[in-house]
């Protein structure tokens, strides 16, 4: 079998470890994947297997044998997708509420990955597998903009942006209670709840820093509800939902973090009926912006509120402005 790539370590280069040289020379291949290739004998130095820490001194020939990407267990499914943008490197979709992003126990079918495997016929492979690269996720019942990559290099490039917190991410949420300030930030570490394993909590034994910035868009005084715009500095699991629930402003219709008494406290019957039509929490990933891995241009995408969420906001707007004009 012919090598996929061949590199010559320069004679005039300072001595360096093999794995360090490969990471620098092959940015499209992750460090962990390179280690697997070395350990499995698919990277040869002057025709022989070698250890990752071998020190290159000059003049060595390195051969890289890349295996063909293998299909993953997930089954391609012809599921409806709203595509906002697509090219050879990535695809941006407007995920509907109710769709799980990645197959897992209890969700082997009907996920976004299943849909992308069917739609994307030009996958180049991520980590040696024919799959879309999920750089970030949205909760099952959170709708909005999500990007997935088609090759390793694009995946690494976008993942680095998320790690550096340079990605633009703005959400819209409807929360219980009236926020007193016009804007603010919640800086509270989050981790797995010590007892209720499905939940995330700031009281976790092992937690990571989580920062959510928010500003008020509208206050609905009569129903003690607030429409807020949120931007994420970090992207922890359930971050927005937990930060606001623990601040006594849980998201409307959140099945995990909102007490059922909150909805019962709403006296407007029509409003409660509209809320019942929500598939889950009133949270929508409205804006996503990132630098494209090939063009290096900033791309920004926006998703309008889904129908059930928009119906609630429209109803509240009519009610609020009608009452104010009467006053």
Write the DSSP symbol of residue 51. Answer: -
In 87-98, which positions are buried (b, 16+ CB within 10 angstroms) versus exposed (e)?
eebbbbbbbbbe
Beta bridge partners of 61: 8
Cα angle value 140/143/147 (rounded, 5°): 90
Assign residue 260 a region: left if phi > 0, alpha if psi is -120 to 50, beta otherwise?
alpha
How many Cβ atoms are within 10 Å of 124's Cβ, its own excluded? 18
Which helix (H) or strand (E) is 17 found in, with range? Answer: strand 16-17
Cβ contacts of 264 within 8 Å, gap of 6 or more: none
C-alpha radius of gyration, the chain, whole number: 24
**3-state SS assignment for residue 283:** strand
Helix/strand/coil for 193 = coil
C-alpha dihedral over 289, 88, 6, 33, to 10 degrees?
60
d(CA 165, CA 265): 38
C-alpha to C-alpha distance for 319 and 188, rounded to whole angstroms = 35
**201 and 189 in contact (C-beta within 8 Å)?**
no
Q: Which of 19, 94, 139, 151 is the catalytic position?
A: 139
Residue matched to tokens 């633009």:
168
139 assigned to active site: yes
User: Within 10 A of 324 (CB to CB), how many other CB atoms are there?
Assistant: 9
Q: Which helix (H) or strand (E) holds 191?
A: strand 191-192
The set of catalytic residues is 139
């Amino acid at each position: 079998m012919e090598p996929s790539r061949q590199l010559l370590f320069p004679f005039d280069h300072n001595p360096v470890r093999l794995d360090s040289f490969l990471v620098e020379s092959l940015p499209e291949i992750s460090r962990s994947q390179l280690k697997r290739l070395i350990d499995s004998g698919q990277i040869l130095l002057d025709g022989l297997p070698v250890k990752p820490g071998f020190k290159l001194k000059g003049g060595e020939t390195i051969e890289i044998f890349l295996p063909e990407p293998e299909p993953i267990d997930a089954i391609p499914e012809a599921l409806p997708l709203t595509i906002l943008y697509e090219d050879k490197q990535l695809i941006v979709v407007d995920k509907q509420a109710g769709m799980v992003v990645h197959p897992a126990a209890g969700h082997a079918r009907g996920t976004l990955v299943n849909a992308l495997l069917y739609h994307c016929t030009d996958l180049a492979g991520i980590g040696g597998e024919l799959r879309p690269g999920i750089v970030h996720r949205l909760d099952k019942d959170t709708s909005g903009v999500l990007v997935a990559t088609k090759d390793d290099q694009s995946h690494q490039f976008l993942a680095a942006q998320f790690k550096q917190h340079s990605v633009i991410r703005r959400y819209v949420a409807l929360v219980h209670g009236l926020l007193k300030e016009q804007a603010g930030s919640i800086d509270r570490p989050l981790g797995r709840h010590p007892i209720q394993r499905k939940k995330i909590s700031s009281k976790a034994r092992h937690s990571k820093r989580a920062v959510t910035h928010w500003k008020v868009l509208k206050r609905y005084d009569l129903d003690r509800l607030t429409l807020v715009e949120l931007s994420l500095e970090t992207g922890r699991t359930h971050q927005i939902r937990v930060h606001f629930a623990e601040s006594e402003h849980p998201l409307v219709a959140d099945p995990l973090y909102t007490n059922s008494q909150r909805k019962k406290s709403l006296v407007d019957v029509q409003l409660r009926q509209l809320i019942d039509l929500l598939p889950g929490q009133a949270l929508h990933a409205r804006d996503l912006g990132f630098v494209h891995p090939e063009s290096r241009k900033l791309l920004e995408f926006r998703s309008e509120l889904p129908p059930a969420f928009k119906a609630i906001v429209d109803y509240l707007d009519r009610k609020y402005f009608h009452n104010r004009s009467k006053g």
